[in-house]
């Protein structure tokens, strides 16, 4: 030990070991790699015994076995001391690492492909409530924290009359809107309005009841409707009432590979209607299209929260998956604007990435070539 101490002090006059910097560094945190013939435990013990090391603001945090080195918290002077030790191979700044994001999120925060495995939006949607008019929500899912809820008062489909999702569709959509991992707007409040049952179907009267419920509320709110059926003037009129109450109404275009103007609520004049794209920016083979579509968003192989497990996930495809991406985007806009529906619709369209989508030819040529962008 005494010999090693002498070596350490003598090394103080040697050159500096290389320092590799990182763009997204963690201030004061470093990874130190030792030369191959140096025992980590002996080196760490000796460094800790140096009076100057702690005095200069140095602390060894963790020894490694997968590499010949350790992690340390170092001031500038302590870093200089470490780099002068002749058994140090190199020092690297610690950096932030991130969980891989879902491809849909990855796509909507950048203008063009390829994806960069990151997601950074203009906000979080704090202070905004998104009402997911669907099969209900599993409010206990870990991805929602304490931000999701449902109740019998928000259940317009009996059996069971509790608002809890027994299908999975609504929970998946809610996760894409505002889950902490899967969501576009990670701080929104999520409310499940159950209008569809355990088999994913329900009545038009039940859907209108759900719309009517949300229209009677106040505050910054967005409605997300990943559902549809045949053309219905009654449903269209209900959407207009919800819009006039001050809520943006984001709806799925439908999955029949037909003109969205043939189905409700996609055709409703006051709805903001969403078609689906895949990971190559091509319109999804199933997506409805046409002049009643307002925007496109990722909708193929989308992973989000599962209703069957509080920590589980599920992968689904459909304009139902594209719709909540845009509902989350609307919530982000509401966080900085008044949440006036007309203003939100304009902001979503004006901010969208244009002329990125392929496949909008022939009968689909009247579709807007606009892809959701939220950064």
Those residues whose C-beta lies under 8 Å from the C-beta of residue 106, and which sit 6 or more positions away, are 115, 116, 117, 118, 119
Band of pLDDT at residue 155, cut at 50, 70 and 90? confident
Same domain (yes/no): 77, 185: no
Is 13's pLDDT higher than 80?
no
Give the active site residue among 245, 264, 287, 320.
320
Report the range of poorest mean pLDDT among 2-16, 34-48, 119-133, 194-208: 2-16
Which of 95, 118, 138 is the endpoint of a domain?
Answer: 95
pLDDT, position 311: 93
Same domain (yes/no): 289, 338: yes
Same domain (yes/no): 82, 140: no
Same domain (yes/no): 147, 198: yes
Total of domains in the chain: 2
Segments in the chain forming alpha helices (H): 2-11, 40-49, 51-55, 76-83, 103-108, 169-178, 204-215, 233-244, 319-336, 341-351
Same domain (yes/no): 128, 148: yes
- The CATH number that applies at residue 64 is 3.30.70.80
Active site residue 320: yes
Same domain (yes/no): 137, 239: yes
- Written as six digits, the tokens of 34 are 């030792």
pLDDT digits (tens, 9 = 90+) for 334-367: 988 789 999 999 999 999 999 999 999 999 999 9
**Mean pLDDT (whole number) for 210-220:** 97
Task: Tell me, yes or no, if the pTM score tops 0.85.
Answer: no
Active site residue 134: yes
Band of pLDDT at residue 12, cut at 50, 70 and 90? very low
Is 4's pLDDT higher than 50?
no
Give the active site residue among 94, 106, 109, 134.
134
Higher-pLDDT residue of 313 and 154 is: 313
Same domain (yes/no): 332, 270: yes
Which of 70, 95, 120 is the endpoint of a domain?
Answer: 95
Same domain (yes/no): 143, 34: no
pLDDT, position 14: 54
pLDDT digits (tens, 9 = 90+) for 94-113: 987 766 799 999 999 999 99
Same domain (yes/no): 52, 108: no
**Mean pLDDT (whole number) for 153-160:** 81
**Domain range for 31:** 2-95
pLDDT digits (tens, 9 = 90+) for 257-291: 999 999 999 999 999 999 999 999 999 999 999 99
Measured N-to-C along each axis, helices 341-351 and 319-336 cross at an angle, to the nearest 10 degrees, of: 110
pLDDT, position 3: 37
For the chain, give the percent of residues with pLDDT over 90: 89
DSSP string, 239-263: HHHHHHTT--EEEE--SSSSBGGGE
- Written as six digits, the tokens of 25 are 């560094």
- The CATH number that applies at residue 226 is 3.40.50.200
Which of 40, 66, 95 is the endpoint of a domain?
Answer: 95
Give the active site residue among 169, 172, 307, 325.
169
How many angstroms separate the CA atoms of 184 and 175, rounded? 9
Band of pLDDT at residue 170, cut at 50, 70 and 90? very high
**Mean pLDDT (whole number) for 246-259:** 98
Same domain (yes/no): 284, 170: yes
pLDDT, position 356: 99
Same domain (yes/no): 110, 87: no
Active site residue 169: yes
In a 13 Å sphere around the CA of 312, the CA atoms on its Cβ side amount to 10
pLDDT, position 99: 66
pLDDT digits (tens, 9 = 90+) for 289-330: 999 999 999 999 999 999 999 999 999 999 999 999 999 999
pLDDT, position 98: 64
Same domain (yes/no): 130, 89: no
């Amino acid at each position: 030990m005494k010999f090693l101490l002498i070596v350490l002090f003598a090394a103080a006059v040697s050159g500096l070991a290389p320092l590799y910097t990182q763009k997204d560094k963690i201030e004061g945190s470093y990874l130190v790699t030792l030369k191959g013939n140096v025992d980590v435990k002996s080196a760490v013990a000796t460094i800790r015994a140096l009076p100057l090391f702690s005095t200069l603001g140095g602390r060894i945090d963790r020894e490694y076995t997968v590499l010949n080195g350790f992690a340390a918290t170092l001031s500038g002077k302590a870093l200089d001391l470490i780099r002068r030790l002749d058994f140090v191979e190199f020092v690297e700044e610690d950096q932030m690492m991130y969980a891989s994001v879902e491809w849909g999120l990855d796509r909507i925060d950048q203008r063009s492909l390829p994806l960069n495995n990151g997601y950074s939006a203009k906000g979080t949607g704090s202070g905004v409530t998104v009402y997911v008019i669907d099969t209900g929500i599993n409010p206990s899912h870990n991805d929602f924290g304490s931000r999701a809820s449902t109740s019998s008062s928000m259940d317009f489909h009996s059996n069971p009359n509790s608002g809890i999702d027994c299908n999975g569709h609504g929970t998946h959509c809610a996760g894409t809107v505002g889950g902490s991992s899967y969501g576009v707007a990670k701080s929104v409040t999520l409310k499940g309005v159950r209008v569809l049952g355990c088999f994913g179907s329900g009545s038009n009267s039940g859907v209108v009841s759900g719309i009517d419920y949300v229209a009677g509320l106040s505050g910054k709110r967005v409605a997300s409707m990943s559902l549809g059926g045949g053309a219905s003037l009654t449903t269209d009129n209900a959407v207009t009432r919800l819009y006039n109450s001050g809520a943006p109404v984001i709806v799925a275009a439908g999955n029949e590979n037909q003109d969205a103007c043939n189905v409700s609520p996609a055709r409703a004049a006051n709805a903001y209607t969403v078609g689906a794209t895949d990971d190559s920016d091509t319109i999804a083979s199933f997506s409805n299209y046409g002049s009643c579509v307002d925007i496109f968003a990722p909708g193929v192989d989308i992973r989000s929260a599962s209703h069957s497990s509080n920590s589980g996930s599920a992968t689904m495809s459909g304009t139902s998956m594209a719709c909540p991406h845009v509902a989350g985007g609307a919530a982000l806009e509401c966080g900085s604007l008044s949440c006036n529906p007309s203003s939100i619709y304009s902001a979503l369209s004006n901010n969208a990435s244009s002329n990125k989508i392929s496949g909008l030819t022939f009968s689909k040529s009247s579709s807007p070539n606009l892809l959701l962008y939220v950064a």
